[in-house]
Amino acid sequence: MITGLAVGSMPSAASAAPDGMSSAERNEAPLGARLQGVQHFGLTVQNMGRAYQFYTEVLGGTEVFRHGDFQGDGVQNTLLADQEIEANMRGVNPRTIGVPDLRSGAQRLDVRFIQFDNMVLELLQYREADQPMGSAKSFAEPLEHMSPAFPRMMHICFYVRDDVDFNKFIADLEAESARRGMTQVRANRTIRVMTEADRKAAPRSANTNRVTAEPSNGWELIYCKGPEGEQLEFVGGARLPPVARRGADDLNVKDCIMQKLVCNSLGALLFAASMAMTTASVVAQEAPRVRYQEIPEGAYSVVAQVRAKAGKEDALRAATLPLIDLVRGDPKNLVYFLQEDRAKPGHFIFYEVFASQADFDAHNAMPYVQAWFAKLPELADGGVEVLRMAVLGVPKK
Mapped onto helix, strand or coil, the DSSP state of residue 209 is: strand
Our separate counts of H helices and E strands in the chain read 11, 13
Q: Which residue(s) pair with 42 in the sheet? A: 122
For the chain, 397 residues long, give each residue's pLDDT as a single digit of tens.
234 444 444 444 444 555 677 878 877 877 777 776 667 888 999 999 999 999 999 999 999 888 888 898 888 888 888 888 888 889 999 988 889 999 999 999 999 989 987 788 999 999 999 999 988 888 988 877 777 777 777 888 888 888 888 899 999 999 999 999 999 899 999 888 888 899 999 999 999 888 887 767 778 888 889 999 898 988 887 555 444 444 444 444 333 333 333 333 333 333 333 332 233 333 333 344 566 767 888 889 999 999 999 999 999 999 999 998 888 888 788 899 999 999 899 999 999 999 889 889 888 888 889 889 999 999 999 889 999 988 887 655 5
Each domain of the chain, given as residue ranges in start order, spans 36-250, 287-390
One-letter identity of residue 339: Q
Q: What's the rounded Cα separation, in Å, for the pair 206 and 201?
A: 10
* List of E strands, 16-144: 41-44, 62-70, 107-116, 119-128
CB 23 within 8 A of CB 16: yes
Whether domain 36-250 has CATH 3.10.180.10: the reply is yes
Half-sphere exposure of 340 (CA within 13 A, CB side): 12
> How is residue 76 annotated by DSSP?
H
> What pLDDT does residue 346 have?
93
pTM of the model: 0.57
Classify residue 306 as exposed, middle or buried by CB count within 10 Å of its CB (0-12, 13-18, 19+).
Answer: buried
CB 236 within 8 A of CB 162: yes
Whether domain 287-390 has CATH 3.40.1360.10: the reply is no
CB 232 within 8 A of CB 156: yes
For 72: left if phi > 0, alpha if psi spans -120 to 50, otherwise beta; the answer is: left
- Domains 36-250 and 287-390 equal at CATH topology level: no
3-state secondary structure 257-281: CCCCCCCCCHHHHCCCCCCCCCCHH
Total Cβ atoms within 10 A of residue 227: 23
> What pLDDT does residue 396 have?
57
Cis peptide before 215 (omega within 30 of 0): yes
